[in-house]
Amino acid sequence: MKNPLSMMLGSAAVALLTAWTPIQANEVLRFQVYLDDKPIGEHSFRIAEGVDTTRVSSRAAFDVDFLFINAYRYRHNSNEVFRDGCLAEIDASTNDNGKRFQVDGSTVGDAFRIERKDGTEQASGCVKTFAYWDKSFLEQRRLLNPQTGDLEDVRVQAKGSDRVEVEDGRKLSAQRYALKTDELTIDVWYNDDLGWVGLESDAGKGRRIIYKRM
């Protein structure tokens, strides 16, 4: 199964590589995650808002079984700090079916320094991750992938009013956006009252990854 999370994760436990310490959150977002119509796990986000700082901890755990055998396992932890809307720190660990990633980053002067297994990169300007919980991230044209540490070029297209199903079966009115990278198109939905409520992306071989807000 092609893993779209290597491109789409934005802002969760990495096979216990990194302890996930819950923060005192103002808001907790939880999503049931499906591969087509089959539930495979959950992705949660704890968001703590300060005066000029936002701290976000996200945790994802997915398991795909085939004939009673675990065929695919994914764990991801990301702890991110934003100051005035821009990424100031990141500590992210991922186990993508046995392939492990570690991404660390922090502000150094006017730049953002990204450290990953294959080296170090400096990014200028305001850096953001694939922070679906913050609708303003759609204004960016380049986003940091917290799994790989790569900076991805993105294009965003507003798709207008739509309806999206959440985990309890309700259908909510929402604004739909298509976020396009060189490899994927990720559809995200935002409700006026609840904010981010849904996501859908290609998973390869005609299959879909679907997030439903819990």
- pLDDT tens per residue across span 44-80: 999 998 888 999 999 999 999 876 667 889 999 999 9
Q: Which residues contact 94 (CB under 8 A, 6 or more apart)?
A: 14, 74, 75, 76, 77, 100, 101, 102, 147
Q: Examine the pLDDT at 183 and tell me if it is beyond 90.
A: no
Q: How far apart are CA 114 and CA 97, in angstroms?
A: 24
Place of tokens 């495979």: 40
E strands of the chain, at which residues? 27-35, 38-49, 53-66, 69-83, 86-96, 99-108, 111-116, 119-124, 142-144, 151-153, 155-165, 171-180, 185-191, 195-204, 207-213
Mean pLDDT is lowest, of 7-21, 106-120, 127-141, 161-175, for: 7-21
Task: Give percent of the chain with pLDDT exceeding 70.
Answer: 87
pLDDT of residue 19: 35
Burial class (CB in 10 A: 0-12, 13-18, 19+), 175: middle
Torsion, Cα 24 27 28 34, to 10 degrees, reads -150
The predicted-structure confidence for 85-131, as pLDDT tens digits, reads as follows 999 999 999 999 999 999 999 999 889 999 998 899 999 999 999 99
The predicted-structure confidence for 187-204, as pLDDT tens digits, reads as follows 999 999 999 999 999 888
What's the predicted TM-score (pTM) here? 0.85
Report the alpha-carbon angle 67-69-74, nearest 5.
125
Q: What is the DSSP string of 170-192?
A: -EEEEEEEEEE-SS-EEEEEEET
Backbone angles phi, psi at 190, to 5 degrees: -130, 125
Identify the residue with better confidence: 6 or 36: 36
